[in-house]
Amino acid sequence: MKKLVFSYFNTFNGLSKEVWWLSLITLINRAGTMVIPFLSLYLTQSLDFSLSDVGWIMALFGLGSVIGSWLGGKLTDRIGYYKVMVISLLASGVSFILLQYITTFIGFCVGVLMLMAIADMFRPAMFVALSSYSKPENRTRSITLIRLAINLGFSAGPALGGLIIFTLSYGGLFWIDGITCFIAGMLLLKILNPRKAKVIEQVKVVNPSEAYTDKAFMILLIGMTLFGLAFFQLLSTLPLFYKDVHHLTEAEIGLLLGLNGFLIFIFEMPLIKWLESSKNSICKLILIGVLLTALSFIVINLTGWIGVLVIGMILMSFGEMIVFPFSNSFALNRSAKGNQGQYMAYYSISFSIAHIFGHSIGMNLVANLGYTSTWNIITLLAISSAAFMLFLIYFLKKENKTASLKTIG
């Protein structure tokens, strides 16, 4: 047992202290994101907005995320990741606190759009910072550590949020969200100040190429958008499926969804370290992860036996563990020859687009076709993503062959 525990912690070796600090800052920031899970309840119960109003606000929430990712990438290439992260965290803190005082529909729409545009500037800047603080051989595991921080934060946030609503009302959520943003921002200012933080790999390109001219990268983005459309059913249609078809209680649904976070926390880092030592290329590993996710939807559609829900969740969790870190690592590797901020902005936007449309597609399919046909279509989306990954593998072989011929010539 002691050897097993030692082996687990050994998978974290080699990561720089800056990566650990960035993970802690991310954990504090994400744990403080308590308003988001309760936003629809706040809008309907406290502000008496209609469900239609809530739908529009959530759409603008997604649009703000896309704008923020694009703006964050642009600014990262102009003024650097450190300044963008500081501005995003501190301005988000102010925005969260002020948002509670907006009570009109139009005002809240504008407020949410601005808040998400500011908050999501952090993502592309954080990924570029991660690249600078990591050795190339540790990059995927550094991304995995950040993912662990995000998952822990998102797990703790709603639980703490429920307690805060009970004791301080919804207004307390906005204050706590704002304060945690300030704490994360001040920690960033203190610990990761460029005068103190050690940069391991600084990428400077004289004539950086535009991300949209990188064909391999654009193929990845299409594949990841399709993957995201399938994967994000985990947050919307899957819980409804558990309740409507299998008649699970809210507590049972919570346990099943909690299994996802538990598996990620226990297995992701050891799995990534083991896969990194394999002879498979990053793209082949992403393909395996996508296929595992597709298989999870096939499994839950096979029978009414409740055990398939657990099997499906395990398959999807392992698919997620493989796809997200390695696709992120691939994007960072490609960004080395261009505008890093722009690359990571486009990568973030691909998932933001999937997040915006994925829920709506899933809900409409269920309403019109039922769950069985919905899972068949979602499986096809995942298989389409796998097809793009196969095409990417072929394209990269061709690209490498062309580069070799040019070198010889």
Task: Give tens-digit pLDDT for 61-110.
Answer: 888 888 999 999 989 988 888 899 999 999 999 998 999 999 999 999 99
Please indicate, yes or no, whether residues 306 and 359 belong to a single structural domain of this protein.
Answer: yes
pLDDT of residue 402: 73
Whether residue 331 is contained in a domain is answered as yes
Is this model's pTM higher than 0.85 or not? no
Domain match, 175 and 285 both:
no
- Examine the domain organization and report whether 141 and 280 are in the same domain: no
Measure the N-to-C terminal CA separation of the chain; round to a whole number of Å: 57
Asked if the structure places residue 353 within a domain, the reply is yes
For residues 63 and 139, state if they share a domain: yes
Query: Which pLDDT does position 204 carry in this prediction?
Result: 62
DSSP letter, residue 11? T
What average pLDDT score do residues 110-128 get?
Answer: 91
214: number of Cβ within 10 Å: 19
Contacts of 216 (CB under 8 A, 6+ apart): 334, 392, 395, 396, 399
Q: Range of 244's domain?
A: 208-409
Give the residues across from 209 on adjacent strands: 338
What phi, psi does 209 have (nearest 5°)?
Answer: -85, 150
Q: Which residue has the higher pLDDT, 169 or 17?
A: 17
The answer to whether residues 262 and 347 belong to one domain is: yes
375 within domain boundaries: yes
Judge if 183 and 215 occupy the same domain: no
Number of domains into which the chain is organized? 2
| Closest C-alpha to 372, from 317, 301, 281 | 301
Is 157 part of a structural domain of the chain?
Answer: yes
Q: Which of the four pLDDT bands, split at 50, 70 and 90, describes residue 309? A: very high
Note whether 330 and 233 are same-domain residues.
yes
5 belongs to a structural domain: no
Does the residue 7 lie in any domain? no
pLDDT in tens, 312-343: 999 999 999 999 999 998 998 888 766 788 88
What is the spatial distance between Cα 35 and Cα 170, in angstroms, rounded to a whole number?
A: 8
Look at residue 10 and tell me if it is in a domain.
Answer: no
- 8-53 pLDDT tens trace: 777 777 788 888 988 888 888 776 666 666 776 778 878 888 867 8
170/315 same-domain check: no
Please identify, among 167, 197, 227, the residue that sits at the C-terminal boundary of a domain: 197
Last residue of a domain, one of 157, 175, 197: 197
**CATH at 395:** 1.20.1250.20
Q: 229 with 326, same domain? A: yes
Q: Which of 137, 166, 197 is the last residue of a domain?
A: 197
Whole-angstrom distance, CA of residue 196 vs CA of residue 168: 39
Are residues 163 and 235 located together in one domain of the fold?
no
Residue 1 domain flag: no
> Does residue 185 share a domain with residue 54?
yes
Residues 186 and 219 in one domain: no
